Amino acid sequence: MKTTRLGAVLAAALFAAPAAVAGTTAAPAAPRQVLPFIEDDYTKALASAKASGKPIFFEAWAPW
């Protein structure tokens, strides 16, 4: 796969032509999500996961 396949953008592509690094992640004002995501708080997620015995589903995204 191309390192800059449009759906999966690599950091190494930061200085390619700007349009070629434009990913398809949603805009910041995202619609309602159906899963109870904890936003930007790993410590809270880790504590919750340890207490409940569940694994963490970690989504790394950027507002591109």
Partner 1 sequence: MRAFVFTDKALERQAGRFVWLSVNTEKRENAALLGKFPVKVWPSIYVIDAATEKIVLRWAGGVTTPQLLRLLDDGEKAARGKTAPGAALADADRLYADAKYAEAAVAYRKALETQKPGAPSYARTVESLLFSLSQSGQREACAATAKGAYRNLKSTPSAANVAGSGLDCALSLKDDDPKKAELVTALAADARAVVEGPKTGLAADDVSSLFSSLAEERDAAKDPAGAKKYLEEWVAYLEGEAEKAKTPSERTVFDAHRVSACLALGQSERVVPALRQSEKDFPDDYNPPQRLAIAYGAMKKYDEALAASDRAMARAYGPRKLVVFRTRVDILTKMGDAAAAKKTLSEMLAYAEALPKEQVSDRTIAAIKKQLEAVN
Q: Binding string, 10-39, against partner 1, x = CB under 8 A?
A: xxx-xx--xxxxxxxxxxxxxxxxxxxxxx
Number of residues that bind partner 1 (CB under 8 A): 56
Rounded to whole angstroms, the Cα distance separating 6 from 19 reads 10
DSSP one-letter string for 12-27: GGGGS-GGGG---PPP
Q: Which of 26, 18, 25, 14 minimizes the C-alpha distance to 3?
A: 14
Site for partner 1 in 41-60 (CB under 8 A): 41-42, 45-46, 48-50, 52-60
Residues contributing to the site for partner 1 (CB under 8 A): 1-3, 5-12, 14-15, 18-42, 45-46, 48-50, 52-64
